[in-house]
Homo-oligomer: A and B are copies of this chain.
């Protein structure tokens, strides 16, 4: 670790090309076959990189996935919570976007794969909320609703969001065809 000052490093420098190839390959395989069928050797082959190059920089499969998650290689464009002033309608619209997203052909196992990864790695678990767009979009929208009095001032925002996303995740784990009004029902369960 040749850090800030003094100890300068000598020798070849890390190949950014290889690094990106690994993360992109991880994203492709993750989407195509899911987290549990992901293997280091498979990633290496897909990225046209040697296995050692992966082991040199990442300690495990979950570390690679965590990095790919950070660099936005795993998830397609995440829905954004709209702000029409009506918090209920906005949350329903957002949840519906989420439902539609995972209903698309290639994305059936996507949530399950993410959750599986989170089960295995604390790093990914901590970022699971972020991955589904919570901090970035939902909680700020909730706080705005609290500010204008649409929601009680003492609402535990973090827990509220967790319940919302958690309900969505549990539903995904059940693998049942989501009802047409699934998004609306889930939001209504929280906003009654």
Contact = CB atoms under 8 A, between A and B. Distances in A.
A186 B128 contact: no
A108 to B, nearest CB: 11
B170 A129 contact: yes
A128 B175 CA distance: 11
Contacts of A152: 192
Nearest to A168: B166
A12 to B, nearest CB: 36
Interface residues of A, number: 43
Contacts of A180: none
Q: Which of A157, A158, A162 has the largest count of B CB atoms less than 10 A from its CB?
A: A162
A156 B122 contact: no
Interface stretch (A25-33, A80-88, A113-121): A113-121
Interface in A118-159: 118-120, 122, 125-126, 128-129, 151-152, 154-159
Q: Which of A173, A174, A176 has the largest count of B CB atoms less than 10 A from its CB?
A: A173
A175 B122 contact: yes
23 contacts: A36-B119, A36-B120, A113-B119, A115-B173, A118-B173, A122-B175, A126-B175, A152-B192, A156-B185, A156-B186, A156-B188, A156-B189, A159-B185, A159-B189, A160-B190, A162-B189, A163-B163, A163-B164, A163-B190, A166-B167, A166-B168, A166-B170, A189-B190
Interface of A: 36, 112-113, 115-116, 118-120, 122, 125-126, 128-129, 151-152, 154-160, 162-171, 173-176, 182, 185-186, 188-190, 192
Please provide the 10 A-B residue pairs with the shortest distance between their CB atoms, ordered closest to farther.
A166-B166, A163-B167, A159-B189, A116-B119, A160-B189, A156-B185, A125-B173, A163-B163, A166-B170, A162-B167
